[in-house]
Amino acid sequence: MTELRRCDVLVIGSGPAGQKAAIQAVKAGRTVVLIEHERAVGGACVHRGTIPSKTLRESAAQATRLARDAAIWGVSPRAGIEVSSLMARLDQVVSAHAHYMGRQIDRNGIERHHGRARFVSPETVEMTTVAGERSLFTADVIVVATGSRPRNPPEIPIDHENVLDSDSILSMLYLPASLTVLGGGVIASEYASIFAALGVKVTMIDRADRPLKFMDGELVAKFVEAFQRAGGTYIGEQTLGGVAFDGVSKVLTTLSDGRVVESDKMLVALGRAANVDELNLGAAGLAANARGLLAVDEHCRTANPRVYAVGDVVGPPSLAATAMEQGRRAARHALGLGEGAGTETIPIGIYTIPEMASVGLSEDEAKKRAGAALVGRARFDEVARGQISGITDGLLKLVADGTGRKLLGVHIVGEGATELVHVGQMALLGQMSVDAFVENIFNFPTLAEAYRVAALDIVAKRPA
């Protein structure tokens, strides 16, 4: 008979959400067991998603920065270049991050196991190892953080050679001359801009009229302009008539208006599917909703009060930073601890070329909540560092209430946006006024000066 082992908190999945939930619980003095079905910790974020794509992005960003003087850049982007040469540091980066996460888990005394987990009752989970050994765990709190995988529509013939998904896109041996990207979300936009910067002729096809609908429209317009300058094409408001490989060298994409787009390769980035199929949710009194996700309340608690769900299994925004915070907050709520500041102060970072980032309320949200809003803008070509670094197409927006004094949101597009946004995040957390950016001095020359320029723009618009 399989022995039943007990712990205070059981976490299924060791990606950003699961790791932070486990660390928070053990820091609170609870016994924690972590089950990961892969050989190494970190989940898809470390091994197939965030870390690999951002490593490739860094190569593409270097190409963009130095394309003005290609003679000093070692390798010019071109079709036929080996993808592996653009990601020479990938194994080192992934190994280092996975090792760090593993050491953090072990150092904090979290009991770690590798195997597949499934519910056998509302409070009990069975784990099966690769060798077929079974163990049973029961816990007061169970956190599901099993992540997601690419959603592959059955009508699209994904063969991972000519038609690829976001897991297999980096398995290409050589950079293609042309690439069709299906979708307009985060993954689609990031990869489209990365490959365009590397000299690939990229065509994005999307149902919406613009990509990244949840982001500020002005930021997205800047992104699309940069994408088009790099040779990319965005085709919006189109559905698919069909996708087929011609059997020789081309992927043929038929659009709803009858046009046919030809490309060497295709990336299908039409969302993610939650990894819940093998969890036997029914035994826990749970079921995935119509979108295949686990429904949760504002504390990430499911219909089973013992079970919390965090990260990609609960749906958008499906970003690592958000997942980490969900894991932390879920563990604290489950253990009766204060959860801290609300989620509106979690920044969003989109690693397109150029980057986009935001925190707090958008202009439209501010108008709905506060009745009115004042917006200040600073273009990077207005600050010396932007001119010095050649980052002249960036934009920083500050959103304030109708008086122009209370800061409500920050939105940035341009290289360095995902770092620069944290200045605004700290200002929001500290409930600083717009005037704080006017009255204090930034290093010169820096992109951070854009905060002062945008704040002065708001001051000039204040009602008399």
Q: What is the pLDDT, as a whole number, of residue 49? A: 57
Is-contact 266 104, C-beta < 8 A? no
pLDDT confidence tier of residue 72, bands split at 50, 70 and 90: very low
Question: What are the pLDDT digits (tens) for 142-178?
Answer: 999 999 999 999 999 999 999 999 989 988 888 899 9
**Which two structure tokens, joined as six digits, stand for 154?**
């059955």
* DSSP code, position 170: G
> pLDDT value at position 252?
97
Contact 370, 450 (CB under 8 A): no
Degrees to nearest 5, angle at CA 417 with 146 and 192: 65
- Domains present along the chain, CATH in parentheses: 4-49+89-149+273-343 (3.50.50.60), 163-270 (3.50.50.60), 354-461 (3.30.390.30)
* 70 pLDDT more than 60: no
Residues in CB range of 345: below 8 A, 6 or more apart:
359, 360, 425, 428, 429
- Distances in whole angstroms, Cα of residue 429 to Cα of each of 21, 217, 340, 408, 411: 22, 25, 11, 10, 16
pLDDT of amino acid 74: 45
- Output the pLDDT for position 298: 92
Predicted confidence (pLDDT) per residue in 422-432, tens digit: 999 999 999 99
Is the pLDDT at 106 greater than 70, yes or no? yes
Does residue 187 surpass a pLDDT of 60? yes
pLDDT of res. 68: 47
Please determine, for residue 260, whether its predicted confidence score (pLDDT) is greater than 60: yes
Digit-coded pLDDT (tens) for 8-59:
999 999 888 999 999 999 999 999 999 998 877 665 544 455 677 777 777 7
Question: How much is the mean pLDDT over the chain?
Answer: 89
